Amino acid sequence: MSRIRTPVVTGWFTGRGGGFRLLGTRCSACASVFFPREDAFCRNPGCPGGELEEVPLSKRGRVWSYTDSRYRPPPPYVSDPELVWRPCVLAAVELPAERLVVLGQTVPGVGVADLAVGMEVEAVPGVLNEDARTTWTTWHWRPVRDGTAAGTGAAP
């Protein structure tokens, strides 16, 4: 029986392949952007309060910092205790248009030696874990290997 692909958290990302994007919300009154999404209220203390509308975030950003987890994280992180732990890599990525930093795991196969602060990466669909019935999907950061694309960011 095939597993059903289900986002591990609802409404934080959308799309497949090249159309994959993180989703945030934007306040109609002050234009503040929120990720993870705020749907109830704008958190800008100087804002009278507007409607919060869903917006896709920049697909690409630059690495603010990175690290890895050499030891198995505790629950609710899901990992198979029967398998040898393989360190997962985390990158904090600054999105140029939104001017915010989003943490995420990198795509499998990328180690800390492959990353550098300032490197361009892009958000791609990924799998967090699988159980009997479900493939839990998430976002991953993937280094942009195409040198010609590196200069096309939305802001300086």
Partner 1 sequence: MTGDVAVLGTGMHPWGKWGRSFVEYGTVAARGALADAGLDWREVGSVVGADTVRGGYPGYVAGATFARALGWQGARVASVYAACASGAQAVDTARTQILAGLTDVALVVGADAAPKGFFRPAGGDRPDDPDWLRFRLLGATNPAYFGLYARRRMAVHGDTLEDFARVKVKNAAMGALNPDARYRRRVTAEEVAASAVVADPLRLLDICATSDGAAALVLSSMAFARRHGAADPVRIRAVSTVTPRYPRTVLDLPDIATDSAAAVRPADGTFRASIARAAYEEAGIGPEDLSLAEVYDLSTALELQWYEDLGLCGEGGAAGLLREGATALGGRLPVNVSGGLASFGEAVPAQAVAQVCELVRQLRGTAGDRQVAGARVGVTANQGLFGHGSSVVVVR
Based on DSSP, count helices (H) and strands (E) in the chain, helices before strands: 0, 10
Contact flag: residue 122 with partner 1 (CB under 8 A) = no
Task: Let me know: does 88 contact 68? Beta carbons within 8 Å.
Answer: yes
Q: Closest approach of Cβ 16 to partner 1, in Å?
A: 19
Looking at residue 113, what DSSP letter applies? G
The Cα–Cα gap between 129 and 140 comes to: 13
CA distances from residue 24 to 17, 52, 53, 54, 132 in whole angstroms, order as listed: 19, 9, 8, 6, 30
154 is an interface residue for partner 1 by CB under 8 A: no
Which one among 15, 69, 107, 143 touches partner 1, defined by CB under 8 A?
69
Question: Does the footprint of partner 1 cover residue 128 (CB under 8 A)?
Answer: yes
Residue 153 identity? G
The residue from 23, 107, 112, 127 that contacts partner 1 (CB under 8 A) is: 112
Q: Does 104 bind partner 1 (CB under 8 A)?
A: yes
Residue 71 touching partner 1 (CB under 8 A)? yes
For residue 151, give every residue at least 6 positions away whose Cβ sits within 8 Å of its Cβ, in sequence order, or none. none
Is residue 23 part of the contact set for partner 1 (CB under 8 A)? no
Residues that bind partner 1 (CB under 8 A): 8-9, 27, 30-36, 43-46, 64-71, 73-79, 88, 90, 92, 97-105, 112, 116-118, 128, 138
